[in-house]
Amino acid sequence: MKIFLDSNIPFAQEMFSDLGELHFFEGRNVTAEQLKDADALLVRSITQVNEALLCKNERLQFVGTATIGMDHIDKAYLSSRDIPFHSAPGCNKESVAQYVVSAILVHAEKHLINLQGKTVGIVGAGNTGSAVWQKLTALGMKCHLCDPLLEQAGDRRQFVDMKTIMECDFISLHVPLTVDGEYATKHLFDQQRLRQLNQHQVLINTSRGDVINNQALLERVESGSLPTLILDVWENEPNIEMALLPYTDIATPHIAGYSLEGKANGTEILYRALCQQLGETPSKKVSQFLPPAVVDSIQINAELNQNLVKSLVHLVYDVRRDDNIFRAEIGLPNGFDLMRKNYRERREFSTLNVSLGANQEAHLLAALGFTIAN
C-alpha cells in the first residue's frame, strides 16, 4: 500500500511504516500528479482535498486529516467516490485550551485584572470549547456557553444566546468554519457584531480565521477604542492582513493546537483508523515516541493564587514566546508557514507533575490539566 502523507505529521515514520510504503509531501503545494498512485492520503489542514487534487487518482481507499478542523475536505466529493474519510476529533483540544489559559493570564497580569468572577463567552461548546470552559471555570471565571446546535440536539448544559456572549468580558471562539445553514460561522463576527465590542472586552480567535471578517475587523480597530485582540487564526492564511498586526495584543501563526501531544494525538487517531480499515490490530501508541519534558516535576509550598498559577502555566507554555516570534518573522518570505513548520517543541500541562502540600487545591491544577503527584 502506498501511503502519502504531509511531512508535517509528526511520528509518521514510527507509526505508519509497518502499514505501507510512505511518501511525504509539502501540504501547501501537493499536486494531483504527485498523488496519482496513493492508496491512502493523510493530510493536515493546509491541503485542500477535493476533485482538483484527486482527479488523477483512481485507487484511493482512505483519506485522513490529523486535525480537528475539516473545512479543507470536500466530504461530499469523497463520499461520491466511496472513499472513507477520518478526522481527529479532539486531538489538540487541550493544546488550544492551554493557549487560551496562557493568553488570558498574560492579559490579566498586564492589566492587573483579578479573573475571579470575570465573564467569558465561549462560542462553540464541542471538544475544545468544553475544555476551555473547564479550565476557565477552575480559574474562578464565570463561563457562558453558546452552541445552538448542541442545545437543539438536547445537550443538557446551560446555554446562552449571542446577545449574552457579546456582553462578556472575554469572548473565545471555538466553532468549525461552516458556510451553509442557519448557524453558518463564516463571518459570524461581521461588521455589525464587531461594532458592538468595546475597549474593555477581549476577543480571542483560535477557531478559523474566516469566522471573523478581517477587513471589518481592521475598519473597526482603525476607528479607535479597540477591544483587546488575541488572534491565532486569520483570513487568507498564509497571506494574512498585515495591517491588523499592530492592533493585536497577541498574534500567532495558527499554532494554538501545536503542542507535541496535540499533533501526536492526531497521528495516532489516523493510525488506528487506517489499521481498522486494513484489518490490522494497532500495535503502537504514539506516547512511546514522545520525549521526556524538559521540566517534569515541581513542588509547590505556598497557597495557590492567580499569580502562582500563572507562573506554573508559563513554566510549561507561555504564549508570549509565540507572539514574539510571530512579530519578528511574519515579514520574512514564507514567514507564516515557516514558523509553523519549524515550531519549537511545546508540551502540555500534563507533562508537569505538581506536588502540593496538604489541603492545597489540587482540583484547580488538575482541571487546568497538570498532573498531580501523589
Ligand X SMILES: O=C(O)[C@H](O)[C@H](O)COP(=O)(O)O
Q: What does the alpha-carbon distance between residue 229 and residue 220 come to, in Å, rounded to a whole number? A: 12
Name which position in 5, 74, 92, 244 contacts ligand X (CB under 6 A).
Answer: 92
254 catalytically annotated: yes
Catalytic position from the list 72, 144, 254, 340? 254
**226-255: contacts with ligand NAD (CB under 6 A):** 232-233, 254
Among 41, 49, 54, 68, binds ligand X (CB under 6 A): 68
What is the smallest separation between the CB atom of 135 and ligand NAD, expressed in angstroms?
14
Straight-line distance from the first to the last Cα atom of the chain, in angstroms, rounded to the nearest whole number: 46
Among positions 183-222, residues that touch ligand NAD (CB under 6 A) are: 183, 185, 188, 206-208
Among 20, 84, 176, 238, binds ligand NAD (CB under 6 A): 176
Give the residue with the Cβ less far from ligand NAD, 96 or 108: 96
* 219 labelled catalytic: no
16 vs 234, beta carbon nearer ligand NAD: 234
355 is in an annotated binding site: no
Cβ proximity of 138 and 367 under 8 Å: yes
68 binds ligand NAD (CB under 6 A): yes
Q: How far is CA 294 from CA 10, 247, 288, 368, in A?
A: 19, 34, 17, 19
DSSP 136: H
| Residue-wise DSSP of 138-160 | HTT-EEEEE-HHHHHTT--S-B-
Does residue 265 bind ligand X (CB under 6 A)?
Answer: no
- The DSSP H or E segment spanning 12 is helix 12-16
Please confirm, yes or no, whether 237 is among the known catalytic residues: yes
Nearer to ligand NAD, 35 or 146 (CB): 146
Minimum CB–partner distance for residue 45 and ligand X (Å): 3
Residue closer to ligand X, measured from CB, 8 or 98: 8
CB of residue 42 to ligand NAD, shortest distance in Å:
17
Which one of 148-156, 292-300, 318-326, 352-360 is the stretch in contact with ligand NAD (CB under 6 A)? Answer: 148-156
CA–CA dist 180, 71 (Å, integer): 12
Residue 85 cell numbers, joined: 474519510
Which cell goes with 17?
511504516
Applying CB under 6 A, the site for ligand X has a residue count of 10
Q: For residues 247 and 194, what is the distance between their CA atoms, to the nearest angstrom? A: 14
Buried b (16+ CB within 10 A) or exposed e, 113-123: eebeebbbbbb
Q: Residues 119, 120, 126, CA angle at the centre, nearest 5°?
A: 150
Grid cell, residue 130, equals 468544553
Active-site residue numbers? Answer: 208, 237, 254
Q: Provide the binding-site residues for ligand X, judged by CB under 6 A.
A: 8, 44-46, 67-69, 92, 254, 257
Annotated binding site for NAD(+): 147, 232, 257
